Amino acid sequence: MSASKTTHVYTPAQAFVKIASFCAYQERTQQEVRIKLYEYGIKSAEVEEIIVKLIEDNFLNEERFAKAFAGGKFRVKKWGRNKIIRELEMRGLSPYCIKSGLKEIEEDDYVSTIHQIIDKKSRESTVKNIYQKTHKIAQYLISRGFESDLVWDILKAGARD
């Protein structure tokens, strides 16, 4: 016996109330809302009307989403700008919203975070060869979305200290 989820078809008015609650709980993108409305059985033209109404009532704001997303992923998960940009692009945000979201990351905090990660990874690393260790740390930071030129500049400056 499989536990299948039964889908409920909503009227546009019911869907609006439900989706407004969905947006009020957490910042959302238009793409997420659109997918959810289609799951509710709403037709394409009505979906766009509901999205316009959500934007007018300030339930849906992609610039606000980008700011919350970028700031949160940087502070909590220690993601670099490149990874944040890729994720926001995948979510269908405009270049303007992405740029606005990245403004939430202060340059001093960004560089400081790179230094913290380098210190942590240096302490954790069991590699004895300094060049291999530096390369591993750089690879890790770049995979986290930090810009390679910035990572290498910081690592090279640290080697001189």
Reference 98, options 146, 71, 68, 63; nearest CA is 63
* pLDDT of the residue at 131: 92
Instruction: Please state the pTM of the whole predicted model.
Output: 0.87
Spell 40-56 as b/e; 16+ CB within 10 A means b: bebeeebbeebbeebee
Q: Residue 6 pLDDT more than 80?
A: no
* pLDDT of the residue at 19: 92
CATH of the domain at 50: 1.10.10
- pLDDT-derived band of residue 1, with 50, 70 and 90 as boundaries? very low
90 is a domain residue: yes
Q: Do 152 and 133 reside in the same domain of the chain? A: yes
* Residue 89 φ then ψ, to 5°: -65, -40
Structure tokens at 43: 């037709």
1 is a domain residue: no
d(CA 148, CA 96): 24
2 is a domain residue: no
Give the residue numbers spanning the domain of 144.
107-160
When divided into structural domains, the chain yields a total of: 3
pLDDT in tens, 47-87: 999 999 999 999 999 999 999 999 999 999 999 999 999 99
124 is a domain residue: yes
Structure tokens at 69: 């997303």
* pLDDT of the residue at 158: 75
pLDDT in tens, 90-132: 999 999 999 999 999 999 999 999 999 999 999 998 888 989 9
